[in-house]
Structure 1
Amino acid sequence: MRVLLLAACLALVGAPMAHAATTAKIDTSGSAVNLRFGPGTQYGITGSVSNGQTVTIVCTTRSEPVTGKYGTSTIWDKLSNGSWVADAFVFTGTSGPVEPECGPTGIRPTADDYPYRGNPNAVDRWFMYSGQCTSWVAWRMEQVNGYFHNNGWRNGISGHWGDAHEWNDNAVRLGYRVDRTPRVGAIAQWERGAGGASGWGHVAYISAVNGNTVTVQEYNWTTELGFGTRNVPLSEISNIIHLHS
């Protein structure tokens, strides 16, 4: 029952490009540089590359500022092996991004493949509580889009999303579009108490749209700290958050 979800949604505190990718070289003071699961030092280390080693950049994004040999940069490069590296440690011949913003991966998830299932209330890699709606949507966005910023930076702005009822305002602050137009791959967001949501609000992933009815995938709604899918009238949803235009 929805009334059981009063603690729900509490937050704790790319496809290959159509054109040729860019070949660049790691350039440090001599030490190796860490590769990470996502664009920021809050993401886990996936490996390392030595100074002078060649890497292939497939897309970029702006996230946590990092200082390297040539100064501070907010650019992070996604490599052909799927890992990320701070552009401050990569010689590309320019201080700007050499590839476009990383876009949707084309993945069309249909089931519960959440990596924290069965392990609720742990702190996930986005610094949210696992098993909550916010953590699950962060996972789905990272799976579909290639990354999800949280507790990091986007264009030099603190990127913490907060509790579910705050996501619409923080999305606008971070430069994302928020409206009432549903689309597959966007985030459905509920304000406090809207459409049966708790005082923490709620967020879900939009997996299908049929007129004024939206199909969402979510955590911690019909199943406490678990996965569910339901059809929701658009009129019950407060906002739609678009991470891509």
Structure 2
Amino acid sequence: MKFVVLAAFFQAVAFSVTSAYPITGNGVNCRSGPGTSHAVKKVYAKGTDIKVTCQTEGTSINGNSIWDKTSDGCYVADYYVKTGSNSYVTKKCSSGGSSGGSGSGKVPGPVENDYPYKGSCGGVDQWNYYKCQCTSFVAWRINSRLGIHFTNQYKGYNWGNANTWDEAARHTGVKINSTPVPGCIAQTNAGSAGHVAWVAAVGKDTVTVEEYNYATREGYGKRTVPKNSFNYIHIKV
């Protein structure tokens, strides 16, 4: 009888201990809330084991709307965590808060230099672009604010320099037109390698963009220009 009681005790203890699961994506953001518009608090490398304390609903990432609260106190999309299930594997968070999803009122987010490599230029970033270039900054925004795992090989096609992003968009079926909306990508073939920027706001005949490596070498900037200055790539919005 004693052994049965002890076995039950140890089993209860085992289930009370938070399980650790590996991160499956490269540079996965852990945010202040369960959604892509929340601030990034930490970035996990692929293969990092995280402890999940509870789960809640948030922005849907490739069909999975579960977000895992980690022992670091931030939220990571369950899509990038190998829990062995697409459903809940632990208790629901008691106060998950707003999902912070990327609806029309949430994108594009604050106009600020939130680029993770600022001041650390040189070499290749986690999306396979050179750090502090316009392409790297826009790749960061697509990942962090749209919740899309975008890299230089998005949808199996090499997006390359900014002056080939329009071709890549057409090849992969991503909408591209002359109509900007906040949270889409501004693209031009002008110059030796072209340029891409993040659309922050749209006026009657103008567009305000955030960008890297334009007016300031390897630095952040924002400007308002005529709408016809760019093509517009709509990866999500």
Displacement after TM superposition at 1:132 (Å): 0.3
Q: 2:207, 2:224 within 8 Å by CA — same for their partners in 1?
A: yes
Deviations along 1:193-239, one digit per CA (max 9) or x if unpaired, are: 2xxxx2100000111111121111111111011111111112222x1
Partner SS state of residue 140, structure 1:
helix
Task: State the partner residue of 1:235.
Answer: 228
Runs of 5+ unmatched residues, structure 2: 1-18, 30-43, 69-74, 88-99
Bigger Rg over Cα:
2
CA RMSD in angstroms, aligned pairs only: 3.2
Q: In the alignment, does 2:19 pair up with 1:34?
A: no
Q: What is the alpha-carbon distance in structure 2 between the residues aligned to residue 176 and residue 84 of structure 1?
A: 25
Go from structure 1 to structure 2 and tell me whether the alpha carbon gap of 1:135 and 1:161 turns closer, same or farther (over 3 Å shift): same
The percent identity for this pair of structures is: 33
TM-score by length of 2: 0.64
Q: In the alignment, does 2:219 pair up with 1:226?
A: yes
The one-letter amino acid of 1:129's match is Y
Q: 1:76, 1:87 within 8 Å by CA — same for their partners in 2?
A: no
Displacement after TM superposition at 1:183 (Å): 1.1
Q: What is the alpha-carbon distance in structure 2 between the residues aligned to residue 213 and residue 123 of structure 1?
A: 33
Instruction: Compare the two structures and name the one with the higher helix fraction.
Output: 2
Deviations along 1:126-155, one digit per CA (max 9) or x if unpaired, are: 1110110000111122222124411455xx
The one-letter amino acid of 1:231's match is T
Q: What is the alpha-carbon distance in structure 2 between the residues aligned to residue 229 and residue 212 of structure 1?
A: 17
Q: In the alignment, does 2:197 pair up with 1:204?
A: yes
Go from structure 1 to structure 2 and tell me whether the alpha carbon gap of 1:140 and 1:54 turns closer, same or farther (over 3 Å shift): closer
Q: What is the alpha-carbon distance in structure 1 between the residues aligned to residue 51 and residue 157 of structure 2?
A: 27
Higher RCO (CA 8 Å, separation ≥ 6 residues): 1
Q: What is the alpha-carbon distance in structure 2 between the residues aligned to residue 76 and residue 160 of structure 1?
A: 26
Q: 2:200, 2:210 within 8 Å by CA — same for their partners in 1?
A: yes
Q: What is the alpha-carbon distance in structure 1 between the residues aligned to residue 219 and residue 126 of structure 2?
A: 18
Go from structure 1 to structure 2 and tell me whether the alpha carbon gap of 1:232 and 1:152 turns closer, same or farther (over 3 Å shift): same
Deviations along 1:35-61, one digit per CA (max 9) or x if unpaired, are: 24449xxx72353469xx985564554
Runs of 5+ unmatched residues, structure 1: 1-30, 63-74, 94-101
Instruction: Compare the two structures and name the one with the higher strand fraction.
Output: 1
Task: State the partner residue of 2:119.
Answer: 118
The one-letter amino acid of 1:189's match is Q
Q: 2:133, 2:213 within 8 Å by CA — same for their partners in 1?
A: yes
TM-score by length of 1: 0.62
Q: What is the alpha-carbon distance in structure 2 between the residues aligned to residue 211 and residue 223 of structure 1?
A: 27
The one-letter amino acid of 2:160's match is G
